[in-house]
Amino acid sequence: MLFHVRDRKLRALARESFAEDCKRIQNGQTAKRALETDIYITNVCNLRCNYCYFYFEDYFNAPSHHTPGDPTLSQLKSLVDKISGKTYCLVMLGGEPFSRRDLVEFLAYTRTKDIFSIRISTNGLLLKRKKDALPYIDTLSVSFDAMRVRQYPRQENRLLKDLSDLKAEFGDALPKIIPSWTTSPDDDFEKDVRPLLDFAVAHEFVVKFLPLKVNQHADWEKQRSIILQAIEYAGPQYVTNQLGHTVQLETQYGGRNCLVQGNQFYIDYEGQFLYPCDEYAHQKVGSVYEHDLDELYEEGVRRFGNYPRNDGICAHCPSGCHSDNSYILRFPERQLQWLA
């Protein structure tokens, strides 16, 4: 996903560094920073969405899938110490990150590190209770889609009101809000998607569309159709998905579009470095608490080989967001606009 930097001075530095890294990639070299690094800071959530990977993989009831408890604050601080200077954007995932009581302290500590942008993926229902966290965050990726509305209509109506209230209260000081829509085969553009786009335009939010992954498959034809309709209806400035990448989803998704040069890092609940991405969660290279990120990436290449795979396995990857980030690095114009 495109990354946002709120602080103007920091944004100028990020733009200069990012432009240089994109030139390196276009010349066949390795970028100095990953576009983003994903970390899981909690497995606690206040919802049980029936399409969530937690639900599908029984995270709520299978302790083997996660640590007995959340990472401690000291562990998370140690983790960002290792990440500092290695990534443009740090993405905090869960569970529901805003359920952590020490979130503000952790965010404040992270802000002292060499990390340009902080993004949190959230269901948004705790934002009003944790408003003191907002000044530390650049982007909020807020889950909202037709499947969730059908399962939690009351909560989702409250979410929209909360977002409106926060926009009125914070104005331009509010983190960039990205409503994150998981596209299902049953979505109807006029009935389901169009109202969200109207809401986004009215509040100057930008929508991100993600594919629904079921048994390692995604409906790319539906995904492509919804995105193209959204771009045509609201305009490209209100959709983070880029047109050039979306057009590639017309036929079988080609995972070979992903870059090899460590453009994303993935760290699970236990602090294990996953190589090459979270679609290979079983390929745990080692602990970030004990090793340097560069060492872990090199070890991943040594043990598991180069990715994307040339044997067709990656061609069936259901995570368009991975190649979406590679597309941003190959065609950086839109990202550079976000950093202007």
153 within a domain of the structure (yes/no): yes
Residue 46 belongs to some domain of the structure: yes
Give this prediction's pTM. Answer: 0.94
Q: Tabulate helix, strand, coil % of the chain (nearest 5).
A: 50, 15, 35
Interior angle at CA 51, CA 47 and CA 52, nearest 5: 60
pLDDT at 321: 84
In a domain, 253, yes or no: yes
Kindly state whether residue 1 falls inside one of the protein's structural domains.
no
Residue pair 153/192 in contact by the 8 Å Cβ criterion = no
Residue 87 is assigned to a structural domain of this protein: yes
Query: Which residues fall within 8 angstroms of residue 38, CB to CB, at 6 or more apart?
Result: 91, 93, 264, 265, 266, 267, 278
In angstroms, the CA 224 to CA 218 distance is 11
The answer to whether residue 2 is domain-embedded is: no
pLDDT at residue number 53? 67
Q: To which residue do tokens 């401690």 refer?
A: 72
How much is the pLDDT for 60? Answer: 41
Give the CATH number of the domain where residue 200 resides: 3.20.20.70
282-320 burial, b if ≥16 CB within 10 A, otherwise e?
Answer: ebbbbebeeeebeebbeebeeeeeebbbeeeebeebbbb
Q: Which residues span the domain enclosing 182?
A: 8-338
Residues (pLDDT < 50) of the chain are 56, 58-67
Instruction: Work out how many domains the chain is built from and give that number.
Output: 1
Asked, for residue 3, whether it belongs to a domain, the answer is no
Does the residue 255 lie in any domain? Answer: yes
pLDDT per position as a tens digit, 298-327: 999 999 998 888 777 777 788 888 889 999
